[in-house]
Structure 1
Amino acid sequence: MDLANLNAFIAIAETGSFSGAGERLHLTQPAISKRIAGLEQQLNVRLFDRLGREVSLTEAGRALLPRAYQILNVLDDTRRALTNLTGEVSGRLSLATSHHIGLHRLPPLLRAFTRTYPQVALDIEFLDSEVAYEEILHGRAELAVITLAPDPHALVKAVPVWDDPLDFVAAPEHPLATTANVTLADIAAYPAVFPGGNTFTHHIVSGLCEAQGLKPNIAMSTNYMETIKMMVSIGLAWSVLPRTMLDGQVARIPLPGIQLRRQLGYIVHTERTLSNAAKAFMALLDAQADIAKAAAVH
Structure 2
Amino acid sequence: MNPLHLDTQQLLTFLAVAESGSFSAAATKLHVSQPAVSKRLAQLEERLGFRLFDRLGQRVVLTYRGEQLLPAVREVQSCLDDIVAAAEVSGETLSGRLALSLSHYAGLHLLPQVLERFSEHYPEVLLDLSFHDSERAIEQVALGESALAYATLPPRLDDRVRTRVLWEETMQPVVAERHCPSGRPPTLDRIGKRLPLILPAEATSTRMAIDRWLDDRRLLPPAIIEINQLDSIAVLAATGVGWAVLPTTLQREGLVRLECGNGVLPTRRLGRIEAVGRARNPLAEAFMAMVEGHGED
| TM-score calculated relative to the size of structure 1 | 0.64
Rounded to whole Å, the distance in 2 between the matches of 1:90 and 1:172 is 50
Contact 2:180–2:186 (CA under 8 A) maintained in structure 1: no
Determine what percentage of the aligned residue pairs are the same residue.
29
In structure 2, list runs of 5 or more residues that go unmatched. 1-80
Q: Match of 2:291?
A: 285
Contact 1:161–1:288 (CA under 8 A) maintained in structure 2: no
> Rg: which structure is higher?
2
> Which amino acid in the other structure matches residue 252 of structure 2?
D
Q: Match of 1:69?
A: none
> Which amino acid in the other structure matches residue 277 of structure 1?
L
In structure 1, list runs of 5 or more residues that go unmatched. 1-79, 292-298
Q: Match of 1:103?
A: 108
Is residue 229 of structure 1 aligned with residue 234 of structure 2?
A: yes
The superposition leaves residues 146-195 of structure 1 with CA deviations (integer Å, 9 ceiling, x where unpaired) of 11112222332211222222110110012699666724475144211110
Rounded to whole Å, the distance in 1 between the matches of 2:180 and 2:254 is 15
The superposition leaves residues 229-272 of structure 1 with CA deviations (integer Å, 9 ceiling, x where unpaired) of 11111111001111111132211113122222212211101211
Q: Match of 2:256?
A: 251
Q: Match of 2:99?
A: 94
Residues 113 and 168 of structure 1: CA distance in aligned 2, closer, same or farther (over 3 Å): same
> Helix, strand or coil: the match of 1:266?
strand
Q: Match of 1:269?
A: 275
Residues 237 and 122 of structure 1: CA distance in aligned 2, closer, same or farther (over 3 Å): same
Structure 1 runs of 4+ aligned residues shifted over 6 Å read none
Is residue 162 of structure 1 aligned with residue 162 of structure 2?
A: no
Contact 2:88–2:282 (CA under 8 A) maintained in structure 1: no
> Which amino acid in the other structure matches residue 139 of structure 2?
E
Contact 2:147–2:284 (CA under 8 A) maintained in structure 1: yes
> Helix, strand or coil: the match of 1:139?
coil
Is residue 210 of structure 1 aligned with residue 215 of structure 2?
A: yes
Is residue 142 of structure 1 aligned with residue 168 of structure 2?
A: no
Rounded to whole Å, the distance in 2 between the matches of 1:177 and 1:104 is 33
Residues 208 and 178 of structure 1: CA distance in aligned 2, closer, same or farther (over 3 Å): farther
Residues 176 and 132 of structure 1: CA distance in aligned 2, closer, same or farther (over 3 Å): farther
> Helix, strand or coil: the match of 2:149?
strand
> Which amino acid in the other structure matches residue 197 of structure 2?
A
Rounded to whole Å, the distance in 1 between the matches of 2:121 and 2:256 is 40
Deviation at 1:107, TM superposition (A): 1.1
Residues 283 and 217 of structure 1: CA distance in aligned 2, closer, same or farther (over 3 Å): farther
Deviation at 1:217, TM superposition (A): 3.7
**Number of matched residues?**
211
For residues 41-190 of structure 1, the aligned pairs below 5 Å read 86-87=88-89, 88=92, 89-174=94-179, 182-184=187-189, 186-190=191-195
Q: Match of 1:12?
A: none
> Which amino acid in the other structure matches residue 228 of structure 1?
I
> Helix, strand or coil: the match of 1:173?
helix
Rounded to whole Å, the distance in 2 between the matches of 1:202 and 1:218 is 15
